[in-house]
Amino acid sequence: MQPPFRIGLGYDIHALVAGRPCILGGVKIDSPVGPEGHSDADVILHAVADAILGASGLPDIGQLFPNTDPALKNMNSARIVERAVQEAAAKGWAIGNLDIVVLAEKPKMAPHVPAIRKNLSALLRVTGDQIGVKATTQEGMDAVGEGRAIACHAVVLLIKA
């Protein structure tokens, strides 16, 4: 017998480069640097999607959305999360809660946390109190700490719908 809940973990990291749009958690942020990648490179939404897919026992986003597919160039990563939610729902799972930690030296995340939380709750069709968004720096250490990359950890609990 399987328990009526599942936990999932997601992680993603992207390089930060000058001149790229900076879209994090689906929120457009005014920044001279943005995450580099094949899609819009939204590191938060990628980590969230992988947490949902992992909890559902489904393949990760690299398999569902190959970064070699020209049709996915610069794609809106909200589509990736919507697909993950749909696939989880098809297996009978609903979002219980989501908690994320964004690791970034820049852009400064704190001013954007409320908007990201609101956007994630809309995307996952849950209330704001089911979403936790935290941001921290790497205290100047490693690629994130040197402002050359941005990373995100996500954990999600799915409940039997």
Q: Which residues bind Mg ion (CB under 5 A)?
A: 12, 46
Q: How far is the CB of 49 from Mg ion (least distance, A)?
A: 9
Closest residue to Mg ion, Cβ-based? 46
Q: CB 59 → Mg ion: shortest distance, Å? A: 15
CB closer to Mg ion out of 6 and 46: 46
Could you tell me if 112 and 27 are in contact, meaning their C-beta atoms sit under 8 angstroms apart? yes
Cβ of residue 149: shortest distance to Mg ion, in angstroms?
11
CA max distance for the chain = 51
Q: CA Rg, the chain, in Å?
A: 15
**Residue number with CB closer to Mg ion (51 or 130):** 51
Q: Which is nearer to Mg ion, 98 or 130 (CB)?
A: 98
Residue with Cβ nearer Mg ion (76 or 96): 76
Q: Which DSSP helix (H) or strand (E) runs through 135? A: strand 131-136
CB of 47 to Mg ion, least distance (A): 8
Pick 12 or 105: Cβ nearer Mg ion: 12
Q: At what angle do helices 78-90 and 113-124 cross, to 10 degrees?
A: 40
**H-only helix segments in 65-149:** 78-90, 113-124, 142-145
Angle between helices 78-90 and 43-55 (to 10 degrees): 10
- Supply the minimum distance, in Å, between the C-beta of residue 67 and Mg ion: 8
